[in-house]
């Protein structure tokens, strides 16, 4: 600076230096993102979905209030305050997750070896995991699956709850991850005392960065950076990473909107109606209101408070000095409550896009058209959810194929595979079996078997059919020619022998 004047170069350098001092660091940015996510409406709705699924509804914090002498609501503690949770929301979540994911998922491919490997990889443990992921994505709008190698070197899968994950997307459509932040509570030991801390893991393409969240700042862990997996090569352990981030989103819908957002007001109304009915049935003194005549009058505020709290009012009769006690009877009409509950429960089924198992169409022996009509709403919603899950399985299969190739089990990267979600729908088995029988000679055996109500695994059933036919052919003898065997029997019956 010359004579108090700042040159252009000096001005630029000053601006750059100030910007550098003010620039937020990566750790500060991650801590800020976690804080913003915890306070966001999205995270709040996720927590509500989880709470309501576990039965922790808002009705449990409800206070009994009445209009006081001042005309304002006041808490009344001497009245019954039942807090009934009729968890129709959980019923909808369980219904929808079981409808799409209750039956084992099938993988259809022309490569028999690939099909066998997929059945082994996606066994019963994975089927349980994917069902839990389905429930979490319904409650939170999205859930996450982590692909990793366990301590034994086996390819494994783990669910990340949506309430613990802050995704950073590369695109506005939320299709490609840039990186992912996961935070979760854990216990660390400080000498002889245990201390609950919040651990933070950042999943990037080059590996995992580990931190401890201390208040609003991040502290690096002792083992700050790890790769996704390690391979022992001779006496050394080599670090390797996937070319993609091994955390896969499973969305309930493309907008990641949780189911609770559509039905919370209806669920709260059901809880309130049933709780109020129980309160009214238990208020014996409130079913009969005492009217005390000429036992001190009262102003309007006292009247409302006494009526709400004590179930009695005092009035003065100007035409008579005689005292009297009369009663006003209040009948609790249970039919009104029942009618409102029926309306609310039907509304929650329609808004959740579920089905009513007690539907009138299910009376007697319903035909398949009536059953499909009842399942129409849940089927439409399952189609949307399946579309999202199909895209997720496409990503998951990429990791499976890389694992199979690197472990020497085969190169299946170019193999076509169809992921089949076997929906758990009630059917009229008699009609379905008759339809399968009438399709013999018109459709292939594989198509007919896939539509049979008693078949879960089409490939396994086709193998059993093939084995039975082979056994039947071999039982004839003579190379499996049944006509030679018939000829031999006829000759023997005529008293001759022929080899």
Rounded to whole angstroms, how far apart are CA atoms 384 and 50?
A: 22
Strand partners for 419:
107
State the number of CA atoms in the 13 A half-sphere of 230 facing the CB. 11
pLDDT at 498: 45
Tokens of 193: 């005392």
User: 216: Cβ–Cβ under 8 A, 6 or more apart, which residues?
Assistant: 31, 35
pLDDT given at position 437: 85
CA 9 to CA 13: how far, in whole Å? 6
Cβ partners under 8 Å of residue 484, min gap 6: 476, 477, 478
d(CA 198, CA 214): 8
Q: Which residues contact 464 (CB under 8 A, 6 or more apart)?
A: none
Rounded to two decimals, what is the model's pTM? 0.77
Residue identified by tokens 């010359």 is 2
Distance between CA atoms of residues 179 and 119, nearest Å: 31
Can you spell out the DSSP letters for 156-215?
EEEEEPGGGEEEEESSTTS-SEEEEEEEEEEEEEETTEEEEEEEEEEEETTEEEEEEEET
State how far the Cα of 347 lies from the Cα of 298, in Å rounded to an integer.
45
Q: pLDDT in tens for each of the 499 residues of the chain?
A: 444 455 666 665 665 555 444 556 888 899 999 999 999 999 999 999 999 999 999 999 998 887 776 778 888 787 788 899 999 999 999 999 999 999 889 898 999 899 999 999 999 999 999 999 999 999 999 999 999 999 888 999 999 999 999 999 999 999 999 999 999 998 877 777 888 889 999 999 999 999 999 877 889 998 899 999 888 777 778 888 999 999 999 999 999 999 999 999 999 999 999 998 888 777 655 555 666 666 565 565 666 566 666 666 666 666 666 666 565 556 667 888 899 999 999 999 999 999 887 766 665 566 667 677 788 899 999 999 999 999 999 999 999 999 999 888 989 998 999 999 988 766 656 767 878 888 888 888 888 888 887 787 787 888 888 888 888 887 765 554 545 555 554 555 555 544 4
Give the SS3 label for residue 430. Answer: helix
Task: Enter the tokens of residue 164.
Answer: 């613990």
**Residues 94, 131: Cα–Cα separation, whole Å:** 10
Q: Are 354 and 96 in contact (CB under 8 A)?
A: yes
Domain boundaries, the chain: 40-108+254-425, 426-491
pLDDT the model gives residue 497 = 46
Q: What pLDDT does 390 receive?
A: 96
What would the DSSP string read from start to end of 286-353? HHEEEEEETS----HHHHHHHHHHTSEEEE--TT----EEEEEE----HHHHHHHHHHHHHHHHHHHT
């Amino acid at each position: 600076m010359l004579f108090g004047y700042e040159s252009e170069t000096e001005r630029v350098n000053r601006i750059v230096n100030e910007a550098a001092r003010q620039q937020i660091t990566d750790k500060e940015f991650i801590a800020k993102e976690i804080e913003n996510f915890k306070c966001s409406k999205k995270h709040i709705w996720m927590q509500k979905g989880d709470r309501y699924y576990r039965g922790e509804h808002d009705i449990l914090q409800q206070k009994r209030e009445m209009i006081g002498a001042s005309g304002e609501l006041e808490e009344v503690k001497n009245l019954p305050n039942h807090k009934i949770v009729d968890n129709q929301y959980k019923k909808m979540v369980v219904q929808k997750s079981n409808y799409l994911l209750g039956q084992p998922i099938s993988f259809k491919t022309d490569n028999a070896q690939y099909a066998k490997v997929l059945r082994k990889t996606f066994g019963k443990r994975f089927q349980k995991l994917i069902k839990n992921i389905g429930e979490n994505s319904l409650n939170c709008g999205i859930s996450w699956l982590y692909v990793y190698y366990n301590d034994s070197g086996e390819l494994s899968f783990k669910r990340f709850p949506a309430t613990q994950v802050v995704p950073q997307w590369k695109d506005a459509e939320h299709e490609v991850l840039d990186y992912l932040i996961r935070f979760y509570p854990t216990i660390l030991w400080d000498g002889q005392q245990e201390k609950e801390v919040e651990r933070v893991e950042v999943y990037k393409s080059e590996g995992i960065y580990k931190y401890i969240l201390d208040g609003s700042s991040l502290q690096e862990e002792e083992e700050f950076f790890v790769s996704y997996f390690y391979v022992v090569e001779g006496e050394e352990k080599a670090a390797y990473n996937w070319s993609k981030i091994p955390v896969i989103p499973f969305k309930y819908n493309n907008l990641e909107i949780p189911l609770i957002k559509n039905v919370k007001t209806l669920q709260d109304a059901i809880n309130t109606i049933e709780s109020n009915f129980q309160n009214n049935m238990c208020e014996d003194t409130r079913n009969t209101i005492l009217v005390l005549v000429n036992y001190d009058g009262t102003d309007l505020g006292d009247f409302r408070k006494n009526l709400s709290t004590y179930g009695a009012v005092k009035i003065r009769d100007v035409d008579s000095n005689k005292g009297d006690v009369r009663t006003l009877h209040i009948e609790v009409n249970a039919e009104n409550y029942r009618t409102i509950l029926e309306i609310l429960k039907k509304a929650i089924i329609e808004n959740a896009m579920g089905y009513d198992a007690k539907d009138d169409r299910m009376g007697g022996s319903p035909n398949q058209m009536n059953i499909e009509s009842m399942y129409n709403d849940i089927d439409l919603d399952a189609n949307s959810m399946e579309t999202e899950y199909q895209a997720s399985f496409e990503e998951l299969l990429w990791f499976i194929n890389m694992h199979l190739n690197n472990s020497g089990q085969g190169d299946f990267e170019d193999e076509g595979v169809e992921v089949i979600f076997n929906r758990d729908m009630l059917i009229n088995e008699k009609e379905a079996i008759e339809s399968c029988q009438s399709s013999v000679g018109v459709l292939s055996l594989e198509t007919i078997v896939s539509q049979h109500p008693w078949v879960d695994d089409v490939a396994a059933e086709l193998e059993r059919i093939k084995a039975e036919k082979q056994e039947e052919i071999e039982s004839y003898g003579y190379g499996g020619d049944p006509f030679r065997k018939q000829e031999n029997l006829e000759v023997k019956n005529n008293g001759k022998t022929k080899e």
